[in-house]
Amino acid sequence: MTETGPAPSLLQDAPPDLDTVRREDARRVVEAMDAWRKRSRLIHFFRRALPVVLGVLVLGTISWVVVRTVMADMADQAAQRSDVRMTNPRFYGQDARGQSFVLAAAEAVQDRRRSTLVRLTRPALRLNATGERPTEVTALNGVYDEQAHRISLSGDVRVVDGGTSFRLQTGQAVIDTRTGVISGRSAIHGRGPLGTVDASSYAIYDQGARIVFEGDGDRKVTGVVNMAE
C-alpha cells in the first residue's frame, strides 16, 4: 500500500483579502504619482533651463566673435602705428639733371603714418654717384623725406666735395635731391684749395662749382667761391 503525504491546505491558494488588494493598489498609485511628479518637475526644469543655456551659449559665441574682432582691430592698429626698421638700407635716385645719388645708413626707421618719411642713423650720402668726382656727405642723424625731395642731416655733418676738394664741417645740412644743392644755416668750418673758411651759413651749387658763404658776428666772412673761374 502506497503512503501519501499530508493533503495541501486550502488556505494556501486562497486569494488575498480585498483590503490588502486595495492597499497594494493605493501604494502603486502613490508610487506612480511620485514618479510622474518627479518627471514633471524634471521636464519643467529643463523647459526653463534649456532657453537659458541656449541664450548663454549664443551670448558667449557673440562675445567671443566681438572680442576676436576687437583684438584683431587693435593688432592691426598697433601694426599700423609701429615703425618699420631697416638695417644697412640703400636708397637710390636721380636729380633733375639725371645725376644719380645713393643714400645709405646704419639703420633706417620708416614711419607707418608717413611712408615717405624715413629717419636715419649715421647716414652717408653720395651725390653724382656715378661720376668721377662724387660729393660725399656724412652725419650722425638724418631724415629723408622722399615726397619733398629733401634730406636733412644733423650732428657732426661732414661734406667732402669731389669737384673742389673742399672739406667742410658743420652741424646741419639740407640736401635738395632734385637740384643737388647742399645748404645749411649753422656755423661751418672748411678747408680747400683757397685756404680755410669760417662762416655762419653756406650753400654748395652745381656739384661744388659755386660755393656761397655768409657770416655774422664773429664769423663775418661773406663771399662766393666760383671754381669755374
Q: What pLDDT, on a 0 to 100 scale, did the predictor assign at position 110? A: 86
Mean pLDDT, all residues of the chain? 79
Please state whether the predicted TM-score (pTM) of the whole model is above 0.75: no
Q: Looking at residues 55-62, what average pLDDT do you find?
A: 83
Please state, in angstroms and rounded to a whole number, the distance separating the CA atoms of residues 79 and 96.
36
Q: What pLDDT, on a 0 to 100 scale, did the predictor assign at position 142? A: 95
Place of cell 514633471: 40
Closest CA to 182 of 160, 156, 198: 160
Domain ranges of the chain: 15-82, 84-226
More confident residue, 210 or 76: 210
Q: Which helix (H) or strand (E) holds 144?
A: strand 141-145
Instruction: Report pLDDT digits (tens) over 109-154.
Output: 987 777 788 999 999 999 887 877 888 999 999 999 988 999 999 9
- The secondary structure of 36-94 as a DSSP string is HHHHHHHHHHHHHHHHHHHHHHHHHHHHHHHHHHHHHHHHHHHHHHSPEEEES-EEEEE
Whether 186 contacts 201, CB under 8 Å: yes
- The CATH number given to 84-226 is 2.60.450.10
